[in-house]
């Protein structure tokens, strides 16, 4: 695959890739951007090579996930005043919504969140999710089933 | 992937609906093309060459300063004829008048 073709593919999946990076970075825009930029750089420099073993989107999502995991481990949390203010405004927004689905989703474990997001938001199969998350398909299925039960319970609780 | 989870589907559709209003940064703003290796190599060579030239100038100037401190023998050659007839050879130490300082030791008593 030449560079032009690779760039076109990245461009085509850019929106989904950004949203995945953003979701995996706990819905932080700046972290999402940073992770996506690091991912693109890895690909452009040839440190991550697509070898047609899986779908391009699956491959891209797995690199984003691995990059985000490394990034979040190394990252030192430092909330400056602006961020605190942003969060405060966000909380205010949340309070005005009848049901905040994203907030509900964050009550699930990280693995369950990732599996359900990949399945229901990014329309991936369990096999593709196993590729992205580096988990055995059986483990993915367990997270998927338990996650669904947890989400249903959360929805029922919220509606009460 | 077929699923019979309408409520879970609805849950994620609601998240998607919210995200549809979200500003996504442009691809060009995030995708940075890496510096091409060849260009990078030439840049490296250029910097190395500049350092070598500077080091050369520095060493050359240092040697020049050291040489200027050395006082050498100056030889001046002149084509002018001299009118001085006096011999330039000093006769004080002529071999026929020279006596070894130990000659007294071989005198007979």
CA distance A60 to A56: 6
Choose the closest CB to B34 out of A44, A119, A155.
A44
CA distance A92 to A85: 11
| pLDDT above 70 as % of chain A | 85
Residue A6: per-residue pLDDT? 87
Domains of chain A and CATH, by start: 1-77 (1.10.1740), 83-160 (1.10.10.10)
Instruction: Kindly determine whether residue B1 and residue A15, on different chains, have CB atoms separated by under 8 Å.
Output: no
Read off the pLDDT of each residue in A36-60 and give the average, rounded to a whole number.
Answer: 89
Residue pLDDT, tens place only, B76-91: 777 776 666 666 655 5
Which chain A residue has the Cα nearest residue B30? A37
pLDDT band at B52 (very low <50, low <70, confident <90, very high): very high
Average pLDDT, chain B: 76
Task: Give A21 or B64, the one with higher predicted confidence.
Answer: A21
Q: Which of residues 54-73 of A touch B (CB under 8 A)?
A: none
Buried b (16+ CB within 10 A) or exposed e, B23-36: eeeebeebbeeeee
Residue in A72, A63, A80, A71 with CA at minimum distance from that of residue A133: A63
- For the residues of B6-63, what is the DSSP string, one character each? HHHHHHHHHHHHHHTTSPPPPHHHH--PPPPHHHHHHHHHHHHHHHHHHHHHHHHHHH
Task: Give A160 or B30, the one with higher predicted confidence.
Answer: B30
B9 touches chain A (CB under 8 A): yes
Residue A54: per-residue pLDDT? 82
B98 touches chain A (CB under 8 A): no
Residue in A36, A133, A129 with CA at minimum distance from that of residue B26: A36
Residue A10: per-residue pLDDT? 92
B40 touches chain A (CB under 8 A): no
Residue pLDDT, tens place only, A105-140: 889 999 999 999 999 999 999 999 999 999 999 999
Helices B6-19 & A137-159 angle (0-180, nearest 10):
80
A5 touches chain B (CB under 8 A): no
Torsion angles phi and psi, residue B20, rounded to 5: -65, -25
The dihedral built from the CA positions of residue A113, A61, A93 and A82, taken in this order, carries a sign that is: positive
CA distance A140 to A114: 10
């Amino acid at each position: 695959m030449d560079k032009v073709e690779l760039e076109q593919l990245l461009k085509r999946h850019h929106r989904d890739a950004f949203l995945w990076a953003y979701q995996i970075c706990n819905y932080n825009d700046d972290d999402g951007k940073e992770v996506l930029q690091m991912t693109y750089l890895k690909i452009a420099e040839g440190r991550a090579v697509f070898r047609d073993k899986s779908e391009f989107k699956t491959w891209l999502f797995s690199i984003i996930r691995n990059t985000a995991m490394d990034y979040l481990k190394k990252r030192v949390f430092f909330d400056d005043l602006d961020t605190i203010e942003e969060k405060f405004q966000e909380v205010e927004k949340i309070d005005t919504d009848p049901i905040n689905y994203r907030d509900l989703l964050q009550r699930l474990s990280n693995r369950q969140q990732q599996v359900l997001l990949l399945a229901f938001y990014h329309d991936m199969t369990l096999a593709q999710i196993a590729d992205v998350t580096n988990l055995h398909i059986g483990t993915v299925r367990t997270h998927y089933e338990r996650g669904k039960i947890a989400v249903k319970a959360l929805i029922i609780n919220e509606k009460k | 992937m077929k699923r019979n989870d309408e409520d879970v589907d609805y849950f994620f559709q609601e998240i998607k609906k919210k995200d549809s209003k979200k500003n996504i940064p442009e691809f060009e703003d995030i995708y940075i093309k890496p510096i091409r290796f060849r260009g990078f190599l030439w840049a490296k060579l250029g910097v190395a060459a500049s350092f070598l030239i500077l080091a050369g100038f520095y060493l050359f100037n240092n040697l020049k300063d050291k040489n200027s401190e050395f006082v050498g023998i100056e030889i001046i050659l002149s084509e002018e004829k001299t009118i001085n007839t006096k011999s330039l050879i000093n006769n004080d130490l002529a071999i026929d008048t020279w006596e070894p300082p130990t000659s007294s030791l071989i005198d007979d008593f």
